[in-house]
A and B are shown apart, each in its own frame.
Chain A
Amino acid sequence: MSEPILRLDHVTKRFRGLVATNDVSFEVPEGSICSLIGPNGAGKSTIFNLVTGYLPVSEGSIHFQGRRIEGTPTTDLARAGIARCFQIAKPFPELSVHDNVRIGALFGRDGARDIGAVTRDAMALAGLTERAQTPASELTVGYLRRLELARAIAARPILLLADEPCAGLNATETEDVIDILRDVRARGVTVLLVEHDMQAVMRVSDRIFVIDAGRKIAEGPPEAVANDPHVIAAYLGTDEE
């Protein structure tokens, strides 16, 4: 079996007394779309922050393409090919859509030869071509999410971490985002998703990891996870309660 793109081994993160991530291990295979799900506050975003080097891990190790990456600065990880889209879109508000995406292209993985082409391509993939000159501050929520994706794609990542890309979107917009994620995967980019929209997760994921109270309580393909009694208990509560 080939080396997974991302591997977490017994990763624990403590904030003083609070254990936000507790002994979590999982592997994200190359070319897959995997999802992290779990109730609010389960520690999904913390895992993203650990993988992108935004927070240091307390224990355990994280491997990206077989190399240990805990303690590597965020900037270096971005250049190595880990891109992230935020739940709350963080555009450069005064810049146009084009200039936003161009910055993703300029500082992405190994300096691209043709920044202009990479920028146009990423905008086209995210359906932003017609809004290229619109200032980011004038975009609607749906388009901001596309911008967030386009900017990450322009960096030519190996692994794309998408933090709730469907949150706050209507059904059509959600459909568009799912299509974009599939296109991204079709280009050979591995995707790790955090998402609350269960319908979206079930349709798009190859594999799902369920996190509850900082621990991984289940993992597997969508059907298996959906019927797992632990997962149902975590989401709906148990009879004894």
Chain B
Amino acid sequence: MLVAAVRRRAWWILLGVVLFAAAAFLPFVTTPFYVRVGQLVLLSSALGLAWTLLGGFAGYWSFGNSAFIGLGAFAAGIFEVELMKGQPWLGFALGLLLGAAISGLAASVVAWPILRLRGIYFAVAMLGISQVLAELNNNIDIFKGSMGLVLPRLSAFGLRPEALYFYLLLIATILITILAFAIQHSRIGAGLMAIREDEDTARMLGVPTERYKVTMFIASAALTGALGVIYAHSLGYITTSSVYRTEFSLNMIVYNLLGGIGTLIGPFLGSAIMVILTQVVLGRLLSIHMFVTGALLVLLVLVAPKGITGLVRALRQRWSAR
């Protein structure tokens, strides 16, 4: 099944490989500012992909995935600061695993009660959970959320920090893309699609709906947690408000919607467009920046309600119908 899918999409895969390879040269040919923009595009794409494993594939929209960024960041941060002094890379590697594990564990604890909620109720429950976790992180002293946490500094191959984190995010994005592709084109991917379309019918056809939803929720949370660890290191100093950001949760959804929900290319398109637009094009127009961003979103939703991939498909259909 997977082999057939790879063969069928050989050109897309080749394009992906070329783009990722080209991205690897970015830190050599441009200024640190644009490398940071690249970081943000990669981080947003990877977060969007992790979100779409459940949100895009199965149609369960989480409005609170920033909770997993925060959990991952602080779990790894506290562990590295308290127990891994003097061994930054070993600490970081174990911290990645720990961040993913804690986020995955948290997801598995809340999965059974809240994945029974459908549609908007699941979304709202996740929003609530992320707010509660942010408050706990901020108000309980041992979590250091209000004081903040300085993470051990990483360095390698004499790379400048922004280049180092660019590469770490690039590797993470590639791995998540491969994983998402494998899931999308396997049996579980077909089952998730059936759940998104009609969950009762899916169950009647023998799709193990509960197990698939829980598995994807945990996978999505664990990957988001690991990305949170990398993000935390790229910031260097984290507080509750720098990682438990509702803005992150919303951006994951907006970027997916913009690019095309349920597709793999969607989060990349959405992130690239919005990040470049807000950071580069509108970066010099700070006074009207938010206004223009909002207006553009409204326009895009009106012109392309199914995202850019949906718009391309519709145009192509119209073209071939002529």
By CB atoms of chain B within 10 A, which of A83, A84, A107, A115 has the most? A107
Number of B residues whose C-beta is below 8 Å from A?
A: 18
Q: Mark A64-83, 1 if CB is under 8 A from B, else 0.
A: 00000000001100110001
> A86, A93, A106, A151 — which one has the most chain B CB atoms within 10 A of its CB?
A106
Measured between C-beta atoms, what is the minimum distance from A110 to chain B in Å?
11
Q: Which residues in A have their C-beta under 8 angstroms from that of B48?
A: none
**CB-contact partner of B197 in A94, A102, A107, A151, under 8 A:** A94
On whether the beta carbons of B205 and A102 are closer than 8 Å, the reply is no
Assuming the A-B contacts A106-B190, A115-B1, are A93 and B206 also in contact, with contact meaning beta carbons closer than 8 angstroms in the complex?
no
Q: How far is the CA of A155 from the CA of B200 in the complex (A)?
A: 16
Q: Which residues of B contact A79 (CB under 8 A)?
A: 206
Bound-state CA distance A151–B194 (Å) is 12
Indicate if the CB atoms of B200 and A90 lie closer than 8 Å. Answer: yes
Q: Output the least CB separation between A156 and chain B (Å).
A: 11
B220 within 8 A of A: no
A94 to B190, CA, bound (A): 13
Residues of A near B191 (CB, < 8 A) are 103, 106-107
Say whether B201 contacts A90, CB under 8 Å: yes
B204 adjacent to A78 (CB under 8 Å): yes
Q: Which residues in chain A, 152-166, are within 8 Å of chain B measured between CB atoms?
A: 155
Q: How far apart are A38's CB and chain B's nearest CB, in angstroms? A: 23
Interchain CA distance A99-B194 in the complex, whole Å: 10
Q: What A residues does B205 contact at CB under 8 A? A: 78, 83, 103-104, 107-108, 151, 155
Residues on B close to A: CB < 8 A? 1, 187, 190-191, 193-194, 197-198, 200-209
6 additional A-B residue pairs with CB within 8 Å, beyond A95-B193, A103-B191, A106-B191:
A52-B204, A75-B206, A78-B205, A90-B201, A91-B198, A155-B206
Chain A residues with a Cβ under 8 A of chain B = 52, 54, 74-75, 78-79, 83-84, 86, 90-95, 99, 102-104, 106-108, 115, 151, 155
A92, B197: Cβ atoms under 8 Å? yes
Q: How far is the CA of A80 from the CA of B1 in the complex (A)?
A: 23
Inter-chain contact A84/B190, CB cutoff 8 Å = no
Some 6 contacts from A to B, beta carbons below 8 A apart, are: A75-B207, A78-B204, A99-B190, A103-B194, A107-B190, A108-B206
Residue among B187, B194, B202, B209 with most chain A CB within 10 A = B194
Nearest CB in chain A: distance from B182 CB, A: 16
Contact of A103 among B1, B193, B200, B209 (CB under 8 A): B193
Q: Which of A54, A75, A86, A108 has the most CB of B within 10 A?
A: A75
The CA-CA distance from A52 to B194 in the complex, in Å, is 19
Given contacts A78-B206, A115-B1, contact A90 B187 (CB under 8 A): no
Q: A92-B198, A102-B190, A106-B187 in contact; A74/B1 too (CB < 8 A)? A: no
Interface of B is mostly: helix
A163–B207 Cα distance when bound, in Å, is: 20
Chain A residues closer than 8 Å to B204, beta-carbon distance: 52, 54, 74, 78, 84
Decide: A74 and B203 in contact? CB cutoff 8 A: yes
The interface residues of chain A lying within 8 Å CB-to-CB of B197 are 92-95
B1 touches A107 (CB 8 A): no
Query: Which residue of A92, A99, A102, A108 contacts B201 across the interface (Cβ within 8 Å)?
Result: A92
| B1, B190, B200 — most chain A CB neighbours (10 Å) | B190
Report the minimum CB–CB distance from A43 to chain B (whole Å).
20
Partner of A107, one of B198, B200, B206: B206
Chain A residue at smallest Cβ distance from B195 = A92
The answer to whether A103 and B190 have CB atoms under 8 Å apart is yes
Q: In the bound complex, what is the Cα–Cα distance between A150 and B234 (angstroms)?
A: 53
**How many Å from the CB of A151 to the closest CB on chain B?**
7
| Nearest-Cβ distance from residue A226 to partner chain B, whole angstroms | 32
A31–B190 alpha-carbon span in the complex (Å): 31
10 tightest Cβ-Cβ pairs between the two chains A and B = A78-B206, A92-B197, A107-B206, A90-B201, A79-B206, A103-B194, A107-B207, A107-B205, A106-B190, A74-B203
Q: Closest CB of chain B to A97's CB: distance in Å?
A: 13
Q: How far is the CA of A151 from the CA of B208 in the complex (A)?
A: 17
Whole-angstrom distance from the CB of B122 to the nearest CB of chain A?
20
Q: How far is the CB of B290 from chain A (nearest CB, A)?
A: 34
Known: A95-B193, A115-B1. A103 touches B198 (CB 8 A): no
Q: Which residues of A contact B209 (CB under 8 A)?
A: 75
Alpha-carbon gap, A104 to B201, bound state (A) = 10
Q: Report chain A residues within 8 Å CB of B198.
A: 90-93
Question: How near does chain B come to A167, taking the closest CB pair, in angstroms?
Answer: 18
B2 to chain A, nearest CB (A): 12
Task: List chain A residues, Cβ under 8 A from B200.
Answer: 90
